[in-house]
Structure 1
Amino acid sequence: MTAYANLLGTQLSELPPACQALHRNYGSWAGTITVETTRAPVLRTLLRLSGLPKAVQNAPFRFTSERDKDHDIWTRQIGDHITVSRLWADDSGQLCEQLGPMRATSQVQANATGIQLKIQRMWLLRLPLPAWLAPKVSTRESQVDGQYHFDVMIRVPITGGPLVRYHGHIETL
């Protein structure tokens, strides 16, 4: 059972079919992605250290999810760039994700239109980030014309500007 399926329980069946297909099963799917990044050189370096890709427009995208012991492994491939994160459900019912030196816990909110994540805490190199310093993350998953759509925006509170935004779709049905 995927981490999302474990957390959502019966709510999983309330999601649009494209979202159910992605979160109910492990597998590999293809689509397109657009990645927009900050113009600030120092912040771009932080993105690279976290394993996030460079800016691209409507690039081919492959998403793979698989199980490895206690975690789900999500692999996102954009051209030659590969980003890998680990996900799991913690004992308090939060979704945890480790991406490079960053770790976040989120509350998963699901309804008939899709999924949203509400970030609860973030850590950098195992050190908890205070709320005023932690990046603000907005995520939305939905189904549009039978396709799974995603939109993730990460903002830096100090500058208020976007650090990275990636959005696109994959074929899950």
Structure 2
Amino acid sequence: MPAPLAVNSDHNLVHDWLGPQFARLHPLLQALHLQGGLLRGPVDIVFGKGLSGLVGRRLAAKLGVPTEVAPHTLAVHIRPGADGLHWDRCFDGKHWFRSLFVPRGYWPSGYWIEQSGAIVLELGVEVIEGGWHWQTRAVRLGRLTLPRWCLPRTRAHKRIVDGRYQFSVAISVPLLGVVLTYSGSLAADTLPASV
């Protein structure tokens, strides 16, 4: 496993990790990753049908994503820190889903680590048409690397459309298909000092 990227206050984790690819990101995504920010807006949450929906709702509950099919709002506070890239998502002002992305190595062979409980994701990045697209490289349960055929698949991206931050996350499970999707179009907000 590559060592964590060294943090230098004169540099930015995302900029340093992506190297020349950073310039291919849309300027608003560049600014978001250099300075951090707060995004807000409506979000759609969709679950699979039948057993897929049951699994999706259980997964959503573990992640802090609302399990009710209703209009929802999302606030996302993104901030680079000495320990990694923080993404603190708050659905409806009460459901929290916090992530810390820790870089390993450098683009293109490097990846980011995201850990939720015992599940550890190794995520690569592709910059496509100015957007950031996550690529799942490996999933571990504790120290056990899961075989590729049984991996949950996550399709996730963020991009800029008409000045707004459009994102989508879709999680599918082998044999069940898509169990949970959440997506939205968020606007940049001023960042209160208390966030």
For Structure 1 versus Structure 2, the TM-score category normalised by the shorter chain is 0.7 to 0.9
- 1:138 is matched with 155
For the pair 1:167 / 2:180, whether they are aligned, the reply is: no
Alignment of 1:15-164 (within 5 A): 15-39=25-49, 40=51, 41-79=54-92, 80-91=94-105, 93-159=110-176, 161-164=177-180
Residues 104-153 of structure 1 deviation map (CA, whole Å, 9 limit, x = unaligned): 11111114331211110012344322111110111222211111111111
Q: What percent identity do the matched residue pairs reach?
A: 28
SS in 2 for 1:5: helix
**What's the CA shift for 1:156?**
0.4
Partner SS state of residue 132, structure 1: helix
Unaligned runs of 5+ in 1: none
In structure 2, the CA distance between the partners of 1:47 and 1:61, relative to structure 1 (3 Å rule), is closer
Residues 53 and 116 of structure 1, relative CA distance in 2, 3 Å threshold: same
RMSD: 2.3
Q: Shift in Å at residue 65 of structure 1?
A: 1.9
Aligned-partner Cα distance in 2 for 1:152–1:111:
16
Aligned residue pairs total 172
DSSP 3-state at the match of 1:6: helix
- In 2, the alpha carbon distance for the partners of 1:43 and 1:57 equals 15
Q: Which has the larger radius of gyration?
A: 2
Q: Displacement, 1:3?
A: 4.0
Aligned-partner Cα distance in 2 for 1:2–1:85: 18
Larger strand fraction of residues: 1
Call closer, same or farther: CA 1:69–1:115 in 2, change over 3 Å.
closer
Relative to structure 1, the CA distance from residue 103 to residue 78 in structure 2 (aligned partners, 3 Å threshold; closer, same or farther) is same
**Residue 6 of structure 2 corresponds to which residue in structure 1?**
none
Q: 1:64: how far off?
A: 0.7
Which sits farther off after the overlay, 135-144 or 125-134?
A: 125-134
Change beyond 3 A, Cα 1:140–1:54: same
Runs of 4+ in structure 1 deviating by more than 6 angstroms, as ranges, are none
Name the CA shift for 1:55/1:138 in 2 (closer, same or farther; >3 Å): farther
* CA-CA distance at 1:56 after TM superposition: 4.5
**Structure 1 residues 172, 5: CA separation in 2 closer, same or farther (over 3 Å shift)?**
farther
Q: Cα distance 1:131–1:169, how it changes in 2: closer, same or farther (>3 A)?
A: same
Superposed CA offset, 1:151-170 (max 9, x none):
111110132x2121111122
